[in-house]
Amino acid sequence: MKVNVEVTCTPEEARAFFGLPDIKPMQDRIMAEIEERLRSSLGAMNPETVFKTWLPASMQGVEQMQQIQQAFWSQLANIATGKKD
């Protein structure tokens, strides 16, 4: 014997039937607080800080790599010309 039962109800009705709490008010408060924190932190950031935050760490080292490269070529030129430091 096979019995099929089909129930049509809203999520609120299902929560009430199973005795689960309605957490929608708590979710709304948390989402409002998250939104407020995001807005305040974004408003406090200047474009340079935002750029550095979003820029991957590997890209932040490009300037340092350029300095190392310039020092290397400068040392190589000094060796080629016979200059001493």
- pLDDT tens per residue across span 11-40: 889 999 999 998 889 999 999 999 998 888
Q: What token pair was written down for 63?
A: 């300037």
Listed in sequence order, the residues at least 6 apart from 84 whose beta carbon sits closer than 8 Å to its beta carbon are 78
Q: What percent of the chain has pLDDT over 70?
A: 76
Global pTM reads: 0.41
On whether both 11 and 31 belong to a single domain, the answer is yes
Whether residue 22 is contained in a domain is answered as yes
On whether both 37 and 63 belong to a single domain, the answer is no
Average pLDDT of every residue of the chain: 81
On whether both 12 and 38 belong to a single domain, the answer is yes
Whether residue 1 is contained in a domain is answered as no
Which residue segment(s) compose the domain that 39 sits in? 7-44
8 A C-beta contact, residue 45 and residue 53: yes
Residue 56 confidence (pLDDT): 65
On whether both 40 and 18 belong to a single domain, the answer is yes
